[in-house]
Structure 1
Amino acid sequence: MFWNRKKAPAVTLPTGIGAADFAGAGTPLKFNSVEFRDGQQSLFATRMTTEDMIPLLTRMDQVGYDSMEMWGGATFDVAVRFLKEDPWERVREFKKYVKKTPLKMVLRGQNLVGYKAYPDDIVEKFVLKAAEAGIDVFLIFDALQDLRNCEAAFNAVKKAGKKIEGSVQYNVSPFHTTEVFVQNALDQEKMGASLMHVEDMAGLMTPQAAYELISALKKALKIPVHLHCHCTGGMAEMTYWEAIRAGVDGLDVCVSSMSMGPAHPPIESFLAALKGTSRDPKIDLEQFKSINDDFLKLRKKYADFETKLVGVDVGCLQHQVPGGMLSNLESQLTAMKLYDRLPEVLEEVSRVRADMGYPPLATPSSQMCGAQATTNVLTGNRYSMVSKELKEYCRGMYGMPPGPISPELLEKALGDEKPTFPRPGDMLQPGFEAARQEVGNLARTEEDVLTYALFPNYAPDFLRAKYGL
């Protein structure tokens, strides 16, 4: 009978993962908070207001993050266009409450926080004003990995005395290999990056690929390496673990209530998994309960903008659409009452990306690719209409694509015109003083002038509302 069974032999359980299992053993793993920027951008189209962020900031500052990514990317555009709040004030508000954790912004190289290249003087002025407002770390990337587009921004950050975090845009194509990524990172280290960020914006990276790439970067670079993955493809947590084994120095995370789906892995899971190991960061798990409760309330508040992706989208391994781009595509198609066409659009994204020379789908190439794919699907006639931005891309005004642009797209976009690929900044006249003259009395600060220079179409209405004009 069952109560007379023989007693099972004693089993000696392991006490924890040994130092030998990790490269970089003995160095606590660092974590970077992305809830206020990429997390909310991926989950609900960047609609969280500064007012809703403030009650969380003191508690988030106490967690022990290496940095807090809270500005740049789409936050600037959305604040001005939809939230009607001054994005510059957000940085100053954060600085009132976040006393210990460095504030980070994502800067799109020559494109700053916009969707095209801006003149070098505007790049320098923008970085200076961002640093003065309170940005400590500038995560700089170029969507095409054309580092000529990062030179002005790198120089401006050095001039401002702030920290440069370089970025490798991970994606899968015939033109992207571990050797290419490592060389690009080495070039950025020589340019002045003091930290290297690997961005898997679409959740494509496999655990094996992570181990290989992080190992290669750690071997080649003298600076720390951090990894950023989205959970879209269902592999991010496994990928992070292999990166830890390979010696990665830091990971981008969300708290659990803002994690998964097209967002990022949860910090709590890794704190539990690393407890007692040679890389234990010794961050207290108890502090996350109230933080998660408040983020859950915010997710309910912004439910109308919430991504419809539940669980995993293995299709991302094919279309390579990043989380933020996916939620925006969903939102736009829903607004047009065409959400059922999303699978067709995502299939077309893959074809358009190949035609564009396989750019990583980071801003602004992701927006160009997504918009053109949507147009192709809805018109039923590929490239019968080509956006102004994609024409400029074909002319080389965004930099050098990783691979050749297809003859079909070139012909539809440019006709007989032959593209050249100069450094985009060299093709632009200084723009700050011209913007100051154009905006006139609507702008009362240099920040206002920059807002106008970046978004002249809707900045005037924003500035009139700001000053009650």
Structure 2
Amino acid sequence: MTRIDLIDTTVRDGNQSNWGATGLDTGMMLQIAPVMERAGFHAIDFLASTHMGVAVRFKKEDPWERLRLMREACPTTPLQFLTTGMRFISWEVASEELMEFAFRLLVNNGIRRFAIMDPMNHVPAMLNMAGITRRAGGEQIVAALTFTLSPLHDDAHFAEAARKLTASGRFDRLYLKDPGGLVTPERAKTLVPALKAAIGDTPLEFHSHTTIGLAPFSYLEAASLGATTLHTAAKGAANGTAQPAQAAVIANLRDLGFGVDVDDEAIAQMDAYFAALTRAEGLPYGQPGEFDRAYFRHQMPGGMMGTMIRQLREIRREHLLPQVLDEVERVRAELGYPIMVTPFSQVVGTMALMNVMQGERYATIPDEVTRYVLGRFGKPAMPMDPEVEARIRDSKRARELEDEPHMASLDELRKRIGTGYSDEEFLLRAVMPADQVDAMVAAGPARRGYDARSRPVMHLLGELVKRKGLTSVKIEKPGLKLELNGGQG
């Protein structure tokens, strides 16, 4: 019986894709962590630098504390860090010195597995990053080859990249990363065998999203064709624009005759926990997306789609989403078909959103779009539209960015930031605004647990505290009548 392993993506990719990376805090993760440890996952997709920044910015929580506590709760299940090129939290291109420093701190605080992705699938860059990671002490290093659709990206293109990556000896495994959920079962039938032929005995993983409902079907094809590990999430955080729900994938694999060696009771507990959490926190409960062929054109990945919908909803412009997605397709072609994954999905998506909101294309150009055109992220797979490229390159801001200094050395950063900080806090201050890190420090340690049943009561109390001059409260529901009276104040 062929065995299929699972990577759990609930707290990292599920949280990011369905809840904009802001749905979970440290206490919520720690509450379910012992169950996740018991489940029998090959690894837990736990962290990316984006999530570290979100923890500080939105939760006022120390991401290093979160990592250490999770490591203590999951001592035998490897925690994974996903890196997306030469950047760490900041959009600024980082030095090799800073990346190795950051990775060493990640290892020291509990990361055992690193997924190495380059947003352009640039093999030399991925090989270089693998070397940096190995020097920093990374235990398991996985090449994340990102799937996309363009005139260039056929099966032979991906197979050749996979061959070069695995032949180097720098990677322990390879996973096909499908951020847009675009690998159809038919494409899996040709692509997975091409990858298997190229990588030999190197284990192959498959990671996709249910954005247009294809991933559960493609997973079964991939497993039948030799993929040994699939990426799934707990119900609530699964589906939607995230990974398929693990319970359903397990049942379907077993029905096909595969062995899936997990603790079924733990899987059920995770599903129940995150389902209750979504209800208590008012978070969307992930459902498989309907098939929408437009995704094959704009290719917006799950995490960015969730973020864009949230941004449009916040400014009450959600009705503009179809127009923005049409503009995404156009901008991507003009910028040379970048792969729609971090940071390029943000580069293309932000530019498209601004074009639609302002009513004039390229009237305002974000610095990250200009840096992309200037080659700071590497050379696009295909030529850019010459008129768009010239418009951006010839701008005053482009000339200013051409001359901007690269990120300072660690010694220079220490002189600028000052002494007296731990290495972990120093790194946060090197790549984030000081006021955000100050607020995190002032907030103190994160809570260590979470109870979905008490959430409505805590929310009510929080709202009552905000009301000045309140002297009495009356709560009534069937079977309960509560009246509180206090003095003036």
Q: TM-score range by the shorter chain?
A: 0.7 to 0.9
Distance 1:428 1:188, change over 3 A: farther
Structure 2's unaligned 5+ residue stretches are 446-489
Residue 415 (structure 2) aligned to one of 437, 442, 458 = 437
Contact 2:60–2:439 under 8 Å retained in 1: yes
Residue 74 (structure 1) aligned to one of 44, 50, 74 = 50
Distance 2:421 2:96 in 1: 22
Distance 1:187 1:52, change over 3 A: same
* C-alpha distance after superposition, 1:373-411 (max 9, x if no partner): 000001111111111111111110011111111112212
Q: Return 113-122 or 364-373, whichever deviates more.
A: 113-122
Distance 2:186 2:382 in 1: 25
Shift of residue 279 of structure 1? Answer: 2.5
- What one-letter code is carried by the residue in structure 2 that aligns with 1:452? R
Distance 1:302 1:343, change over 3 A: farther
Shift of residue 284 of structure 1? Answer: 3.9
- In structure 1, what is the equivalent of residue 191 of structure 2? 213
- In structure 1, what is the equivalent of residue 140 of structure 2? 163
Distance 1:445 1:431 in 2: 17
1:399 and 2:378 are equivalent in the alignment: yes
Counterparts of 1:15-54 in structure 2, within 5 Å, are 26-47=1-22, 48-54=24-30
Contact 1:271–1:285 under 8 Å retained in 2: no
Distance 1:183 1:56, change over 3 A: same
- In structure 2, what is the equivalent of residue 282 of structure 1? 261
Shift of residue 450 of structure 1? Answer: 1.3
Residue 94 (structure 1) aligned to one of 70, 73, 91 = 70
Contact 1:122–1:430 under 8 Å retained in 2: no
* C-alpha distance after superposition, 1:214-240 (max 9, x if no partner): 111111113111000100011111111
1:245 and 2:220 are equivalent in the alignment: no
Distance 1:279 1:219 in 2: 22
Shift of residue 166 of structure 1? Answer: 0.4
- In structure 1, what is the equivalent of residue 121 of structure 2? 145
SS in structure 2 of the partner of residue 111 of structure 1 = coil
- In structure 2, what is the equivalent of residue 195 of structure 1? 173
TM-score between both structures, scaled by the size of structure 2? 0.84
Distance 1:465 1:406, change over 3 A: farther
Q: Percent identity?
A: 28
Distance 1:89 1:356, change over 3 A: same
Q: Return 77-86 or 145-154, whichever deviates more.
A: 145-154
Q: Return 229-238 or 295-304, whichever deviates more.
A: 295-304
- In structure 2, what is the equivalent of residue 64 of structure 1? 40
- What one-letter code is carried by the residue in structure 2 that aligns with 1:181? F
What's the Cα RMSD here? 2.4
Counterparts of 1:2-401 in structure 2, within 5 Å, are 26-47=1-22, 48-72=24-48, 74-159=50-135, 160-189=137-166, 190=168, 192-221=170-199, 222-275=201-254, 278-303=257-282, 306=284, 311-312=289-290, 314=292, 315-401=294-380
Distance 1:113 1:146 in 2: 21
SS in structure 2 of the partner of residue 263 of structure 1 = coil
TM-score between both structures, scaled by the size of structure 1? 0.87
Shift of residue 241 of structure 1? Answer: 0.9
Distance 1:44 1:389 in 2: 24
Contact 1:46–1:75 under 8 Å retained in 2: yes
Contact 2:239–2:286 under 8 Å retained in 1: no
- In structure 2, what is the equivalent of residue 448 of structure 1? 425
* C-alpha distance after superposition, 1:5-48 (max 9, x if no partner): xxxxxxxxxxxxxxxxxxxxx33011100001001111111120
Distance 1:466 1:123, change over 3 A: farther
Distance 1:320 1:307 in 2: 22
Distance 1:84 1:355, change over 3 A: same
Distance 1:248 1:178, change over 3 A: same
Distance 1:246 1:256, change over 3 A: same
* C-alpha distance after superposition, 1:333-388 (max 9, x if no partner): 11112111111111111111111111111111111111100000011111111111
Contact 1:71–1:106 under 8 Å retained in 2: yes
Contact 2:143–2:171 under 8 Å retained in 1: yes
* C-alpha distance after superposition, 1:233-281 (max 9, x if no partner): 1111111111011110100001233221111111212222232655212
Distance 1:136 1:196, change over 3 A: same
The count of corresponding residues between Structure 1 and Structure 2 is 435
SS in structure 1 of the partner of residue 15 of structure 2 = helix
Distance 1:49 1:112 in 2: 20
Contact 2:40–2:262 under 8 Å retained in 1: yes
- What one-letter code is carried by the residue in structure 1 that aligns with 2:220? W
Contact 2:7–2:44 under 8 Å retained in 1: yes
